[in-house]
Amino acid sequence: MSKEDPKLQDLNRDRVGHEGKELTTDQGVRVEHTDDSLSAGERGPTLIEDFHFREKLTRFDHERIPERVVHARGSGAYGTFTCTEPMTELTRAHFLSEAGLETPVFVRFSTVGGSRGSADTVRDVRGFATKFYTRAGNYDLVGNNMPVFFIQDGIKFPDFVHAVKPEPPNEMPQASSAHDTFYDFVSLQPETMHMLMWLMSDRAIPRSYRTMEGFGVHTYRFVNAAGKGTLVKFHWRPKLGTHSLVWDETQKIAGADPDFNRRDLWEAIESGNGPEYDLAVQLVPEEREHDFDFDLLDPTKIIPEEEVPLRVIGRMVLNRNPDNFFAETEQVAFCVQNVVPGIDFTNDPLLQARLFSYLDTQLIRLGGPNFAQLPVNRPVAEVHHHQRDGYGQHRIDISPVSYHKNSIAGGCPHLASIEEGAFRHYTERVDGQVIRKRSESFKDFYSQATLFWNSMSDWEKQHIVDALRFELGKVEREYIRERMIEQLGHVDHGLASQVAEGLGLSAPPESGRNHGRSSPALSQATQPGSVATRKVAVLAADGVDAAKLGPVLESLREHGAVCEILAPHAGTLNGTGETKVDRAMQTMASVLYDGVLVAGGRDSVDALRRSGTAVRYVAEAYKHAKPVGALGEGVDLLREAPLNDARLSDNGLVDESGVVTLAATGNGGRELDQFAQAFAQAMSEHRHFDRNVQVVPA
């Protein structure tokens, strides 16, 4: 046997496999439990002496530089938050103290799993983080577009993210949960099932950041001047309603414009149509904390709006784009620990972990402890303390002392009183054994997943089934697919059976677990709609009937729609008057618009009919349940598509399942106005899933 080269031995020393080995810390200490952090009692706060928890989170936070480990791909904007209902009886928070009081904000939206170079429209959770620059200091409300999370205890966060990230051997797939390690983790952690239902729903593929809800996820605490606490959950509700894409569409957009959501936000703000959101809260008096059939400290649970209604307390408008993406959007540092007097934490074990993790992450990302001095992170409140030096120090402190207590500087900076706005932590009794154990009140893993399923409309349920078939169809190990079907059976037997059928697997035994309860507020089928800022692709060519098209476009734009004329070539079109082309058709795609309108004019329509691109625009928009309209001879292009069971009349006005037409015989001013009104209404409804079209994953 030949002797191995010593250099090769040194290299192989770093190649470590873990099969058959015990889990240890970095110091080689064997670990007996890694699913729960050490706490003072089962429902108590996390203890800093938990060295395994701290090491695990620290190592995870420092894994990658320079981009964020999670939420790497983001888009940001400045704006203003206005208090509309003072909350002084419940909280000392100054920015909620006076109706009409304005507070500047910076918001960062993001995907979670992908890298900075991934596409916007992947199936993923979206971050919704808001930095309030209040007079009492910065307050960071760091949330997501879903009100729950995958895990109950933050010690599992590295495991979850490692599972959902690209797999280690080949760094694939990018920004996707459709692979073995994710579903291996999920199928072994039943607490993930509620969040999985949200992830498989249309909530995971939002149409835009402007039509996306935001949630604080955790239960926080308002604290008033008397020290009394009230439990609170935060909700951001978009003025335009909550609307989504469809799966087939997201994949095409990822190729046509991977910056789709980022571009949409930027262009909306630049055009003066920046998004607006209501800030609403659910409030629970402390004496009612245990009145629910779930634990309010469990981040995998919601409070159904039917049990605790939402109360709107403010409005946020985003109205200014950053001047430099790196300096602002990339360097903005959100820390869950950044609270102001009047807002405090609870013992939610995931929240407790985030209090440590976010600061630790910023230290490695931004090079040291002075990241709060960067312009986008700098508070408007004055900053005075004894911290000194370190990487990235911008302040030039001229005080001769850097300690407390001191007499040389007259004791300054001196301690503030409560009356002067000092922060005081909420006083709470904590007792219990030092223990690593989950509270029994956290052990219901399926009832709210079932609640979510029961609350969906028929088309939303179909999309969830399609999503699970697609995702699990990408899982290579059959035993993981089978285990997932078993888990879905605990949510709803019908759901599990439909997914199993699509995978060629056996349905699980009927369990009879579905409790039959629902929460209508969870469905997107009842969302408010608006035509405002929705984008219409207007298809036209030389010979367009501009005289008929002009009044329709004018009416749609008065309603707030964004109409862009697309043609086979750039420049201007000849017809009944010159028509300026906004974009050449081949540079865009129907998936980048909310609806398609075909202009009239025989020569124009004949030219469009000869264009496969124009026919595809109409057919694809119809397939994706978007509004489709046609003026005069433009109806012929709709027939060319064709539009399945859509009823297209040779004369008169037709409005059926979002298909609106005005035949060539009806072109009076009143009829044109009726057409514009009908098409605007169809656009405001966003999608028309009552069509006889099934959108399945491509």
Which pLDDT does position 420 carry in this prediction? 85
Both 289 and 322 in a single domain?
yes
> What single letter denotes the amino acid at residue 3?
K
Looking at 346, 373, 400, the residue that finishes a domain is: 373
| DSSP SS3 for 308 | coil
Residue 524 is encoded by which pair of tokens? Answer: 């997107």
Residue 163 located in a structural domain: yes
Residue 332 located in a structural domain: yes
CATH number at residue 499: 1.20.1370.20
CATH number at residue 313: 2.40.180.10
Both 629 and 492 in a single domain?
no
Most confidently predicted of 36-40, 66-70, 593-597:
593-597
CATH number at residue 587: 3.40.50.880
Active-site position among 52, 94, 144, 235: 144
| DSSP SS3 for 195 | helix
Residue 22 located in a structural domain: no
Residue 641 is encoded by which pair of tokens? Answer: 């598509």
Mean pLDDT calculated for residue range 2-8: 47
What is each CA distance from 642 to 584, 621, 625, in whole angstroms? 23, 11, 14
Supply the pTM of this predicted model: 0.91
Both 347 and 295 in a single domain?
yes
Count the residues in the chain: 698
Which pLDDT does position 640 carry in this prediction? 86
- The most distant pair of C-alpha atoms in the chain lies apart, rounded to whole Å, by 95
Residue 381 located in a structural domain: no
Which pLDDT does position 654 carry in this prediction? 62
Quick one: which H or E segment has residue 572?
strand 572-573
Residue 556 located in a structural domain: yes
Both 465 and 543 in a single domain?
no
Both 175 and 307 in a single domain?
yes
Both 273 and 147 in a single domain?
yes
190 vs 444: CA distance, rounded Å: 9
Most confidently predicted of 215-229, 326-340, 352-366, 420-434:
215-229
Residue 589 is encoded by which pair of tokens? Answer: 């795609």
User: How big is the CA angle at 115 (ends 205 and 74), to the nearest 5 degrees?
Assistant: 60
Mean pLDDT calculated for residue range 207-211: 97
Mean pLDDT calculated for residue range 556-569: 96
pLDDT over threshold 70, residue 284:
yes
Which pLDDT does position 58 carry in this prediction? 80
Both 516 and 533 in a single domain?
no
Render pLDDT for 251-278 as a digit per residue (tens, 0 to 9). Answer: 999 999 999 999 999 999 999 999 999 9
> What single letter denotes the amino acid at residue 44?
G
Both 576 and 674 in a single domain?
yes
Both 514 and 613 in a single domain?
no
Which pLDDT does position 695 carry in this prediction? 36
Both 542 and 507 in a single domain?
no
CB atoms near residue 213 (< 10 Å): 23
User: How big is the CA angle at 554 (ends 548 and 555), to the nearest 5 degrees?
Assistant: 95
Residues 6+ apart with CB under 8 A from 266: 75, 321
CA dihedral 549, 553, 554, 558 (to 10 degrees): 160
pLDDT band at 1 (very low <50, low <70, confident <90, very high): very low
Both 462 and 339 in a single domain?
no
Render pLDDT for 430-482 as a digit per residue (tens, 0 to 9). Answer: 989 999 999 999 999 999 999 999 999 999 999 999 999 999 999 999 999 99
Active-site position among 52, 71, 179, 686: 71
| Residues β-bridged to residue 127 | 110, 144
Residue 133 located in a structural domain: yes
Which pLDDT does position 11 carry in this prediction? 42
Residue 261 is encoded by which pair of tokens? Answer: 């959501």
Both 557 and 502 in a single domain?
no
pLDDT over threshold 50, residue 372:
yes
Mean pLDDT calculated for residue range 125-152: 96
pLDDT over threshold 70, residue 646:
no
> What is the domain extent for residue 565?
529-684
Q: Is 688 a catalytic residue?
A: no
Residues 6+ apart with CB under 8 A from 294: 301, 441, 444, 447, 448
Q: Is 144 a catalytic residue?
A: yes
Average pLDDT, the chain: 91
Residue 107 located in a structural domain: yes
Render pLDDT for 142-152 as a digit per residue (tens, 0 to 9). Answer: 999 999 999 99
Residue 145 located in a structural domain: yes
Looking at 487, 520, 553, the residue that finishes a domain is: 520
Would residue 625 be called left, alpha or beta, if left means φ above 0 and alpha means ψ between -120 and 50 degrees?
left
Domain count, the chain: 3
530 vs 554: CA distance, rounded Å: 17
Which pLDDT does position 33 carry in this prediction? 86
Render pLDDT for 34-64 as a digit per residue (tens, 0 to 9). Answer: 889 989 999 999 988 887 888 788 878 877 6
Which pLDDT does position 382 carry in this prediction? 86
Looking at 343, 373, 403, the residue that finishes a domain is: 373
Q: Which of 473, 523, 658 is nearest to 244 (CA)?
A: 523
